[in-house]
């Protein structure tokens, strides 16, 4: 797709979700990242939503240099005639206390992490940190949460299935894309899904609605299956870190090797014994897996999911920030979690 057309599509999506969320950051300063591709748009969304100032931290990654990322932001905002939005965004190549201390909202985005005690010490007492995901996905290495609590910095999550998000529904389309890339037709295939949570449930629902024979398995010892009859296994276990495909897991790789060595294994998320699977010569896709994270996310389908979720994270930040400016820590948590899009912490 032409890059200008793609940028216009992303802008349309960004403005649409800002309107649906009624995101308005006027009077607030945001400290966030400017990453590669779709992740450059978090700072643009904040600017489009009238943030007074956006500090956009960037650095080199495997996706590009800091200079290339900054140039992408300049090119996009120039192409789309966003001079006023661009004037609100200040690209910062290093973590400077002055920038952090001015921010009302500090996003828990990739380049910003980890939000450690040193960074929390830089924050003003009325600052807030929105997770750009739900609280059950929280990883302690991302944020020094105890330091936030001690200082009275609220940290809350973003509910991904409430209107207008519905993030989990992307799972079925993502699964289909990965299976297509493996050479499967999906239609008339038989697919096993491993996973207990909402992601796996949404994938199986998608397959059901499209008439694709499937089974969501959790325990083969309790419910043995003839693996020889199946075309693919999709690992989509985000809730539980116990073994899925490995010795002592839901399926033993040696059982797969014996009964159906040509079955396609697709990994979205979940604990598998990758080295043993590859040693046995089994078909595992993608080639590079991420343990503890999703190997592929809805961002792999296109920009919409990333744009919408990051805008929603900024909305959570807006809700918290406006309460925190006039209320104490406990009241901010209580009032913020009354909003449908704000995800609190389970007891």
Q: Which residue has the tokens 């398995």?
A: 217
Place 55 in a pLDDT band, splitting at 50, 70 and 90: very high
Structure tokens at 241: 């870190």
Asked whether residue 150 falls in the same domain as residue 7, the answer is: yes
Asked whether residue 139 falls in the same domain as residue 49, the answer is: yes
Q: What is the distance between the alpha carbons of residues 347 and 344, in angstroms, rounded to a whole number?
A: 9
Asked whether residue 213 falls in the same domain as residue 256, the answer is: yes
Is residue 307 within 8 A of residue 38, CB to CB? The reply is yes
Q: How many CB atoms lie within 10 A of CB 155?
A: 21
Residue (of 84, 91, 96, 98) closest to 40 by Cα position: 91
Domain with residue 178: its CATH number is 3.40.50.720
Domains: count for the chain: 2
For the question of whether the overall pTM of this predicted structure is more than 0.85, the answer is yes
User: What pLDDT score was predicted for residue 19?
Assistant: 97
Q: Which residue has the tokens 């739900």?
A: 134
Q: What percent of the chain has pLDDT over 70?
A: 97
Mean pLDDT of 38-47: 94
Asked whether residue 187 falls in the same domain as residue 243, the answer is: yes
Where are the extended beta strands (E) located within 93-238? Answer: 105-106, 129-130, 155-158, 190-194, 213-217, 232-236
Asked whether residue 9 falls in the same domain as residue 149, the answer is: yes
Cα–Cα–Cα angle for 238, 130, 36, rounded to 5 degrees: 75
Asked whether residue 43 falls in the same domain as residue 111, the answer is: yes
Is residue 44 within 8 A of residue 51, CB to CB? The reply is no
Asked whether residue 105 falls in the same domain as residue 182, the answer is: no
pLDDT digits (tens, 9 = 90+) for 58-105: 988 877 888 898 999 999 999 999 999 999 999 998 888 889 999 999
Asked whether residue 225 falls in the same domain as residue 105, the answer is: no
Q: What is the distance between the alpha carbons of residues 237 and 271, in angstroms, rounded to a whole number?
A: 8
Domain of 242 in residue numbering reads as: 167-298
pLDDT digits (tens, 9 = 90+) for 251-275: 999 999 999 999 999 999 999 999 9
Asked whether residue 249 falls in the same domain as residue 325, the answer is: no
Q: What is the distance between the alpha carbons of residues 38 and 307, in angstroms, rounded to a whole number?
A: 7
pLDDT digits (tens, 9 = 90+) for 301-310: 999 999 999 9
Asked whether residue 19 falls in the same domain as residue 159, the answer is: yes
Asked whether residue 182 falls in the same domain as residue 226, the answer is: yes
Is residue 157 within 8 A of residue 309, CB to CB? The reply is no
Asked whether residue 119 falls in the same domain as residue 181, the answer is: no
Q: What percent of the chain has pLDDT over 90?
A: 71
pLDDT digits (tens, 9 = 90+) for 160-187: 989 888 888 899 999 999 999 999 999 9
Residue (of 135, 157, 146, 123) closest to 30 by Cα position: 123
Q: How many CB atoms lie within 10 A of CB 181?
A: 11
User: What pLDDT score was predicted for residue 222?
Assistant: 45
Q: What is the distance between the alpha carbons of residues 109 and 39, in angstroms, rounded to a whole number?
A: 9
Q: Specify the DSSP class assigned to residue 189.
A: -
Q: What is the distance between the alpha carbons of residues 80 and 6, in angstroms, rounded to a whole number?
A: 11
Q: Which of 298, 313, 329 is the last residue of a domain?
A: 298
């Amino acid at each position: 797709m032409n890059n200008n057309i793609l940028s216009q599509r992303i802008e349309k999506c960004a403005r649409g979700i800002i309107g649906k969320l009624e995101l308005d950051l006027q009077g607030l300063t945001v400290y966030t990242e400017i990453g590669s591709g779709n992740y450059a748009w978090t700072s643009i969304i904040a600017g489009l939503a009238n943030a007074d100032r956006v500090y956009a931290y960037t650095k080199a990654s495997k996706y590009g240099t800091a200079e290339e990322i900054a140039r992408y932001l300049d090119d996009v905002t120039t192409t789309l005639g966003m001079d006023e939005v661009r004037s609100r965004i200040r690209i910062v190549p290093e973590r400077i206390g002055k920038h952090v201390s001015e921010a009302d909202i500090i996003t828990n985005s990739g380049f910003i992490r980890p939000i450690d005690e040193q960074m929390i010490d830089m924050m003003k007492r009325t600052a807030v940190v929105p997770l750009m995901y739900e609280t059950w996905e929280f990883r302690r290495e991302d944020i020094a949460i105890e330091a936030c609590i001690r200082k009275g910095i609220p940290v809350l999550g973003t509910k991904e299935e409430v209107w207008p998000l519905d993030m989990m529904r992307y799972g079925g389309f993502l699964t289909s894309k990965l299976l297509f890339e493996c050479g499967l037709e999906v239609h008339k295939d038989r697919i096993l899904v491993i996973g207990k949570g909402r992601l796996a449930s949404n994938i199986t629902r998608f397959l059901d609605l499209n008439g694709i024979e499937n089974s969501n398995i959790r325990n083969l010892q309790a419910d043995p299956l003839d693996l020889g009859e199946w075309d693919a296994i999709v690992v989509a276990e985000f809730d539980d870190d116990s073994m899925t495909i490995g010795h002592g897991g839901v399926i033993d790789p040696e059982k797969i090797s014996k009964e159906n060595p040509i079955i396609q294994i697709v990994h979205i998320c979940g604990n598998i014994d990758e080295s043993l699977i590859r040693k046995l010569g089994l078909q595992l896709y993608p080639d590079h897996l991420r343990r503890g994270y999703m190997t592929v996310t809805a961002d792999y389908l296109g920009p919409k999911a990333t744009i919408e979720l990051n805008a929603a994270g900024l909305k959570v930040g807006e809700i918290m920030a406006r309460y925190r400016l006039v209320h104490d820590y406990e009241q901010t948590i209580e009032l913020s979690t009354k909003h449908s899009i704000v995800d609190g912490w389970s007891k």
